[in-house]
């Protein structure tokens, strides 16, 4: 296939006016390409797929069918937000599949990171394929491919494409963001009226919390991770760190230590805070979080999250540590 190349003189979309012009142009191109046919989109709720969805809804409305697969490894509130924004506010044709049990059953007892990734990736394709085969008359598949995906598709990050789609699907592609950089996608998303917390989201791996719930995933530890992560995000928001730090999250390892809660012995997992800054995710530095904020986060997580009895801070830059813990 011909490689897509961004024209050198293409203007950087960095304001509302340019975003609106881009949207207008794409809306007519999409209508021209799709005509009265139907388009299928795997809508994860991440920035790219959300912006593609909003753009296609504007262009072709109910001819777009969005499928949101909840693999049970989403962050707190994410699937709910997809349903709220796309299903309700934008009145999209949205199919919501709660496949939590399928994924967690398959992952039971599996501790090797690469095997976990493979299971999640393969099952995602299976669930999506099953949903697609129930639908009639789909001619196109929309994808949130952006320009860095095209630039990177030749190597280093290939393993990050977990959650990709079946290669044998017989659809023509609709990829309206293929020439855009991430910052431009966010500007376009805002111009389309998507909520700020959706378009300004930090990167989140396809296998989701699966890579942060270390070792063999159990439902109770996954729940603890999700709750602790939600507290971290909330406190970063309140304390003005959310817009400043590139990526921040909690990882929970699969071992316990002894602690004391309500005057009783309390065995629990540690919650590890990771907060890094980077330009391209190839190297990363550590964000210095004020101690007062760390104390507050620690107090809240240990008081509010069942199963966690310690909070640790990871001070390791990349290299030598990767950004994720897995
Ligand atoms: P590492 O851990 O390799 O991560 O330093 C670099 C960046 O990539 C993200 N990441 C992923 N993104 N699918 C993705 O879309 C994945 O499977 C995946 N794994 C890691 C990670 O969050 C970090 O931003």
Residue nearest to atom 14 of ligand 1 (CA): 205
Same domain for 138 and 57: yes
- Using most ligand atoms within 8 A of CB, pick from 115, 165, 324 the residue to mutate for ligand 1: 324
Same domain for 46 and 173: yes
**How far apart, in whole angstroms, are the C-alpha atoms of residue 275 and residue 272?**
10
Residue 74 neighbours by CB under 8 Å, 6+ apart: 45, 208, 209
End-of-domain residue from the set 199, 232, 251: 199
pLDDT band at 163 (very low <50, low <70, confident <90, very high): very low
Same domain for 285 and 155: no
Q: Which atom of ligand 1 is nearest to the CA of 322?
A: 5
Same domain for 193 and 224: no
pLDDT in the model for residue 161: 43
Which domain, by its residues, includes 252?
212-313
Residue nearest to atom 17 of ligand 1 (CA): 160
Residue nearest to atom 11 of ligand 1 (CA): 205
Tell me if 228 is assigned to some domain. yes
pLDDT band at 326 (very low <50, low <70, confident <90, very high): confident
- Centroid of ligand 1 to alpha carbon of 205 (angstroms): 5
Residue nearest to atom 3 of ligand 1 (CA): 322
Tell me if 73 is assigned to some domain. yes
Is 78 within 8 Å of 201 (Cβ atoms)?
A: no
Is 221 within 8 Å of 268 (Cβ atoms)?
A: no
61 DSSP 8-state letter: G
Tens digits of residue pLDDT in 291-304: 999 999 999 999 99
Tens digits of residue pLDDT in 249-289: 999 999 999 999 999 999 999 999 999 999 989 999 999 99
Q: Which atom of ligand 1 is nearest to the CA of 284?
A: 5
Q: Tell me which residues have their CB closer than 6 angstroms to ligand 1.
A: 160, 162, 203, 205-207, 247, 281, 318, 322-324
Same domain for 174 and 30: yes
pLDDT in the model for residue 154: 61
Mean pLDDT, all residues of the chain:
94
- Centroid of ligand 1 to alpha carbon of 11 (angstroms): 29
Same domain for 226 and 189: no
Tell me if 21 is assigned to some domain. yes
pLDDT in the model for residue 300: 98
- Centroid of ligand 1 to alpha carbon of 203 (angstroms): 8
pLDDT band at 159 (very low <50, low <70, confident <90, very high): very low
- The whole-number average pLDDT for the span 7-29 is 97
What's the predicted TM-score (pTM) here? Answer: 0.93
**How far apart, in whole angstroms, are the C-alpha atoms of residue 179 and residue 161?**
18
Q: Which atom of ligand 1 is nearest to the CA of 318?
A: 5
Same domain for 188 and 230: no
Tell me if 63 is assigned to some domain. yes
Count of domains forming the chain: 2
- The whole-number average pLDDT for the span 133-151 is 94
Q: Which atom of ligand 1 is nearest to the CA of 117?
A: 17
**How far apart, in whole angstroms, are the C-alpha atoms of residue 248 and residue 231?**
12
Tell me if 159 is assigned to some domain. yes
CATH at 268: 3.30.300.10
- Centroid of ligand 1 to alpha carbon of 248 (angstroms): 12
CATH at 110: 3.40.50.620
End-of-domain residue from the set 164, 199, 234: 199
How many other CB atoms are there within 10 angstroms of residue 168's CB atom?
Answer: 6
Q: Is pLDDT above 50 for 233?
A: yes
Task: Count CA atoms within 13 Å of residue 198 on its CB side.
Answer: 29
Q: Which atom of ligand 1 is nearest to the CA of 325?
A: 2
**How far apart, in whole angstroms, are the C-alpha atoms of residue 252 and residue 269?**
7
Same domain for 162 and 138: yes
């Amino acid at each position: 296939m011909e490689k897509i190349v961004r024209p050198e003189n293409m203007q950087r979309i960095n304001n509302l006016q340019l975003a609106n012009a881009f949207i207008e142009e794409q809306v007519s191109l999409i209508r021209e390409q799709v005509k009265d046919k139907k388009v299928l989109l795997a809508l994860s709720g991440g920035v790219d797929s959300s912006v593609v969805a909003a753009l296609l809804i504007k262009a072709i409305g109910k001819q777009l069918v969005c499928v949101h697969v909840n693999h049970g490894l989403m962050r707190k509130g994410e699937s709910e937000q997809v349903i709220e924004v796309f299903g309700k506010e934008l009145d999209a044709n949205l199919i919501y599949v709660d496949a939590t049990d399928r994924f967690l059953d398959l992952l039971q007892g599996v501790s090797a990171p690469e095997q976990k990734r493979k299971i999640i990736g393969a099952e995602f394709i299976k669930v999506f394929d099953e949903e697609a085969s129930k639908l009639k008359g789909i001619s196109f598949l929309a994808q949130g491919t952006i320009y860095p995906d095209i630039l990177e598709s030749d190597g280093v990050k290939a393993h990050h494409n977990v959650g990709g789609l079946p290669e044998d699907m017989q659809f023509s592609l609709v990829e309206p963001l293929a020439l855009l950089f991430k910052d431009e996608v966010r500007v376009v998303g805002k111009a389309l009226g998507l909520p700020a917390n959706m378009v300004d989201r930090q990167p989140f791996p396809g296998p989701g919390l699966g890579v942060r719930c270390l070792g063999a995933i159990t439902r109770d530890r996954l729940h603890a991770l999700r709750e602790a992560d939600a507290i971290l995000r909330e406190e970063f928001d309140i304390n003005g760190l959310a817009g400043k730090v590139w990526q921040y999250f909690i990882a929970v390892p699969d071992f316990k230590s002894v602690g004391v809660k309500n005057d009783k012995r309390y065995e629990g997992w540690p919650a590890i805070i990771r907060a890094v800054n980077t330009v391209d995710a190839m190297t990363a530095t550590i964000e210095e979080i004020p101690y007062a904020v760390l104390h507050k986060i620690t107090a809240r997580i240990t008081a509010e999250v069942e199963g966690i009895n310690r909070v640790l801070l990871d001070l390791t830059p990349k290299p030598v540590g990767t950004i994720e813990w897995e």
